[in-house]
Amino acid sequence: MKRLVLALALLISGCGIQATGAVPMGPAPTYVPRGATSGPTPADLVLFFVVDGHIQGVARPSDGRNSLANSLALLFKGPNAEDTKRGMVTFLPAYSGSIGYEMADTLNVKLPFPLKGVPALGLSQIACTALTALNVSGAGNVRPDVVTLTGSEGAPLQRGCDG
């Protein structure tokens, strides 16, 4: 009986924590490469590869042509020898041509191959690399959490940076 009374008293009294409104906590988190003390700069290209079934970013120094096009071109070359030693792989097909894109409400990336055979983590590699390139460069006024990908089959799909 004492347990029932105690449980009822706790239920009625609540936990004692007062509700509050939104509390400002500073800027949103940004990508910081493993081992680095700060995030990417406008001089960096950030590419996303797959490690142990998850997406992981790696910063590359830019040759001064930091752009979405350069980031995507480098992404499709795959991980370099150092990345491979760290277990990074790509789920994207090898491609060495240019990748088209346009900015509207979302970033639209136009790929010259079908998306049907590209695994979800490969699509995330493209989305994360593209969104980070826009974020680092400060270019564009697009929705920051989703990319529209259109393959050669023409059916667009939206993809966020997840994986």
Most confident of 26-30, 138-142, 145-149: 145-149
Q: Specify the 3-state DSSP secondary structure of 113.
A: coil
144: nearest Cα among 126, 157, 128, 156: 128
Q: pTM of this prediction?
A: 0.71
Backbone phi, then psi, for 10, in 5-degree steps? -65, -40
CB 58 within 8 A of CB 47: yes
pLDDT in tens, 33-68: 444 444 555 557 899 999 999 999 998 887 766 578
